[in-house]
Structure 1
Amino acid sequence: MANWKIIVAGCGGMANQWVGYAAERTGAEIAGLVDIREQAAREMASRHGLDVPVFTHLAEAIRQTKPDIVFDITIPDSHYDVCMTALKAGCHVFGEKPLAANLRDARTMVAAAKESGLAFNVMQNRRYLRSIRAYRELIASGAIGKPGLIAADFFVGPRFGGFRDEMESPLLLDMAIHTFDQARFISGADPVAVYCHEFNPPGSWYKGNASALCIFEMSDGSVFDYRGSWCAQGAPTSWEASWRVAGSEGTAIWDGHEQVFAERVRPNADGFIRETERIEAAIDWKGREGHAGCLDEMFAALEEGRPAETDCADNLQSIAMVFGALESARTGRKVHIEELLQR
C-alpha cells in the first residue's frame, strides 16, 4: 500500500469527517492544513491531535510539504482555484460536492485533470449506503424488466439558518445534486434533457425557491421524475429520498431507509390486474457507508490505477443535471444536456 501525503484545504463544514478518515487510514499521512482563517486550521489540528503545519495559502502549503493528494473541502466558489492549483502542482484532488460552482469551471477542471493524468474525484457519499447498493442490484438483476420511470420524492423541512436561507435556489443548488447523482447511480443512465419548474411555496422560510419539479429524459430511454421541497413540514421522506422505479415487468421500491423490494408480475399471470410476487432485496454490501465508503473507493482506484466511481468526468453528468434544471426553470423551456455541456 502506498503512503499518501495529504494536504487538507478548508477546515470548516465537512472537514472533520475527511480529516478523521485520513488520520485513521493506514498508508495516509496528513502533511498540513490550509484555511484562509489560520485559527480554524489550528483548531482542526488540535481537535484531531495533529502535529502538522498550518497555512493560509494552498500554493505555499504544497511547496513546503510536497503532498500527493489535496483534499478540497472549501466552499464551492473556491473549488476551481483549489483544484487548478493542486493539479498544476502535480497533486491528485479529492473534493467535496459540488464539483464546481458553475458549469464552465467544471468543464475546465475536468479537462485539466484529464490532461494532467492525475485523479480528480468528487464526494458523492449517498452512493455508499447498503440499501441503495441493494436497490441498484435489484433493478440491474432484471427483476422488474426494463425500467421506464424513475421517481424520487424528497420532502424535508430543515431550518439551517445562515447562507441557505438567502440562496436564490437552495434546493437545486445545495441539495438536489445528491438525488440527481443517485438517479444516475441507480439507473446506470445519464441525462439527455430536462424540464424544471422551481418555486417557493407558502410557509417557506427561504428567500429563494425551496421546491422544484424536474422531468429528466435519460440515455436509456427512461424518464426520471424528481419532486422536492426543503420546506416540507410533516410526513418527511428520508434524506435519501423515497424511490419508485417502474419497469416492464414490475416495480421496485426503496423508502430511503432499509426497505428495498420489488413486486413482479407472476409468470403467465392474466386478468384485469395481474397478480404479482414480492422480491426482497439482499442488503449485504460489505463496504463502509457514507463519506468513509466514498473515500475508500477513491483511494482504491488511485492504488489500482483506474478511474474512481465518482471520477470528475463521470460526475460532470450529475452537476450538469443541476445546472440544466436551473436553466430550464429560468427560461421555461426544456434544456438539452449535451448542448449545455458544449457551451
Structure 2
Amino acid sequence: MKKYRIAVAGCGNMSNTWIDYVAQREDAEIVGLVDIRLENAEMMAERRGLKVPVFHDLGQALFATDANLVFDITIPASHKQVVSTALQAGCHVFGEKPMAESMEDAIELLKLTGQTGKRYTVMQNRRYLPQIRALRDFLTGGTIGEIGALHADFFIGAHFGGFRDLMDSPLILDMAIHTFDQARMILGKDPVSVYCHEFNPPGSWYKGNASAICIFEMNDGSVFSYRGSWCSEGFRTSWEADWRVNGSLGTVKWDGVNPPVCELVDDSQPPQFLMPFKEIEVPIEWKGQEGHWGCLDEMFASLEQNRAAETDASDNIKSMAMVFGAIESSRTGSKVIL
C-alpha cells in the first residue's frame, strides 16, 4: 500500500493536472474519484485509465477507500463541505483556491484543522515560478531601498462560461486571490486595510462585477494597488499580472512572463531634474518545478517534514482576508480594516 491514498473530489478539467502529478510519484496513488454527478467521475476514470471506484458522496468514498488525503478540486461553493468532511474523517486536504465562499467559512475551516490535527493546504500555483521567486529574493536584499509601493495590473478577457459567469464578484473572489497572494509573497508583508471599487463595464458577459480597483495598506506602511478586469479585450496582461515595485533607490518591473528588470539611481552621475539610472540584473536561481506541480511538491514536502506548507490555510487566510475585505469595501463604499 502506498503512503498517500488520495480521493479526488471534483472531476472537471482541472483534475487532470493533479492526477498527472500523482502519476509521477512513487509514494502516492489515486484510490477513488468523487463528483456530485457520478457520470463525471465515471468519464474521468475511463479517460485516465484509472481502475478505481467512483462515488457521488465524499464521506462514502473515504469510508470505502481508506483514503488519507483528499484533493478538493470542486467549485468554490463546495469547498467548505468537502474540506470539513475530509478533515473530520482524518484526512489531510490539498485544495483549490479560494478556501471558501465567505470569510466566516474560511475561519471555520481553519479552526477545524486545529481541532483535527490535519493539514489543509491551498493551491497558489502562481507563487511557484522562477521569475516571481527571483523578484521576491531580490527585494529582500534591499537593492532598491525601502519599498513604498507595489502595483499590479491584471487585464484579461476570459470567456469561461459556467459558474464564474454567474458569480457576484467573479474577479475578486475567483481570480484576484492569486494576485493578492502574490503581493503578500513579493513584499513579505500582510494587509491592514483596503478600499475597493468593483464594477461591471459595458460589454461584460459576466452577471457580477468583473472589474475592480483596490488600494491595500500593508503592515510596514507600504501600499499595494490592484487594477483588474476579467472582461478586458485587447492588450491583455499575463495571468501572473504586470508588476511594478517602487523603492527609495529605484524600481523593479515584472511583466509576469520575462525576467524582472531593475533600474537604480546612478550615483556616479551628477544630480539632475530627472535622475540618470543604471540597469541592475535580477538573478534567477530557483530550480523547482513550476506552477501546480511546484505547489504540490511543497504540499507533499510539508507532510513529509511535519510542518505547515508555504500555502497552508493558516497563511492563506490572510490572502482570503484581502479578498473578502475588498468585497466588503466595495459593498459599503468605505475603507475596511483587516
| TM-score normalised per structure 1 | 0.95
The CA RMSD over aligned residues, in Å, is 1.3
Q: Which moved more, 1:44-53 or 1:120-129?
A: 44-53
Distance 1:44 1:57 in 2: 16
- Offset from partner CA, 1:85-133 (integer Å, 9 cap, x none): 1111111010010011111110010011022221110000111111111
Distance 1:222 1:257 in 2: 25
Secondary structure in 1 matching 2:216: strand
Secondary structure in 1 matching 2:296: helix
* Structure 2: unaligned runs, 5 residues or longer: none
Distance 1:7 1:166 in 2: 28
Q: Does 1:311 align with 2:312?
A: yes
The answer to whether the 8 Å contact 2:97/2:174 transfers is no
Q: CA deviation at 1:160?
A: 2.1
Tell me the residue number matched to 2:323. Answer: 322
Secondary structure in 2 matching 1:160: coil
Q: CA deviation at 1:156?
A: 1.2
Tell me the residue number matched to 1:297. Answer: 298
Q: Which moved more, 1:182-191 or 1:265-274?
A: 265-274
Tell me the residue number matched to 2:189. Answer: 189
Q: CA deviation at 1:23?
A: 2.3
Q: Which residues of 2 match residues 148-159 of structure 1 at below 5 A?
A: 148-159=148-159
Q: CA deviation at 1:157?
A: 1.1
Q: CA deviation at 1:268?
A: 5.7
Amino acid at match of 2:143: A
Distance 1:55 1:255 in 2: 43
Amino acid at match of 1:196: C
Distance 1:96 1:161 in 2: 19
- Offset from partner CA, 1:189-210 (integer Å, 9 cap, x none): 1110000011112222222211
Q: CA deviation at 1:147?
A: 0.9
How many pairs does the alignment contain?
336
- Offset from partner CA, 1:166-216 (integer Å, 9 cap, x none): 322221122111111110111111110000011112222222211110000
Tell me the residue number matched to 1:202. Answer: 202
Q: Does 1:288 align with 2:286?
A: no
Distance 2:30 2:159 in 1: 34
- Offset from partner CA, 1:241-297 (integer Å, 9 cap, x none): 100000111101101111311111234653322222211212231111111010000
Distance 2:148 2:117 in 1: 37
The answer to whether the 8 Å contact 2:153/2:227 transfers is yes
Check 1:117–1:224 CA distance in 2 against 1; reply closer, same or farther (3 A cut): same
Q: Which residues of 2 match residues 1-343 of structure 1 at below 5 A?
A: 3-267=3-267, 269=269, 270-337=271-338
Distance 2:85 2:237 in 1: 40
Secondary structure in 2 matching 1:40: helix
Q: CA deviation at 1:13?
A: 3.9
Distance 2:165 2:41 in 1: 27
Q: Which moved more, 1:203-212 or 1:232-241?
A: 203-212
The answer to whether the 8 Å contact 1:144/1:250 transfers is yes
* Structure 1: unaligned runs, 5 residues or longer: 338-343
Q: Which moved more, 1:101-110 or 1:273-282?
A: 273-282
Q: Which moved more, 1:168-177 or 1:103-112?
A: 168-177
Amino acid at match of 2:197: H
Q: CA deviation at 1:163?
A: 2.8
Distance 1:294 1:322 in 2: 21
The answer to whether the 8 Å contact 1:20/1:48 transfers is no
Amino acid at match of 1:138: F
| TM-score normalised per structure 2 | 0.96
Secondary structure in 1 matching 2:49: coil
Distance 1:12 1:36 in 2: 11
